[in-house]
Amino acid sequence: MKQSDADDRPNLNTGQEWSEMDLFDLANCVRLNNPIEEIADFLCRSRREVREKLAGLEASGELARRIEEAAANAQPE
């Protein structure tokens, strides 16, 4: 399978609206330095969709705020 095929492979939530919980989970996964492949699988979305959402959040300045929020609400390990 080519990389572009893997990036575009649809998953359960691909194409669905991003909920606040999805965005919280996305930011928390980024905070934990999870790879894109794991984040996409966890959120049931395509890799491309996750990359595009991260790029949009970063461009708007919202990603940093969401990561801070995820860190503040993280459960102790």
In a domain, 12, yes or no: no
Q: Name the amino acid, one letter, at 6.
A: A
Domain membership of residue 39 as a residue range: 18-72
From CA 26, how far away is CA 36, in angstroms rounded?
10
Radius of gyration from C-alpha coordinates of the chain: 13
pLDDT value at residue 26: 98
In a domain, 6, yes or no: no
From CA 12, how far away is CA 2, in angstroms rounded?
21
In a domain, 5, yes or no: no
Q: How many domains does the chain have?
A: 1
Model confidence over 4-40: pLDDT tens digits?
666 777 778 888 999 999 999 999 999 999 999 999 9
In a domain, 2, yes or no: no
Model confidence over 64-77: pLDDT tens digits?
999 999 999 887 76
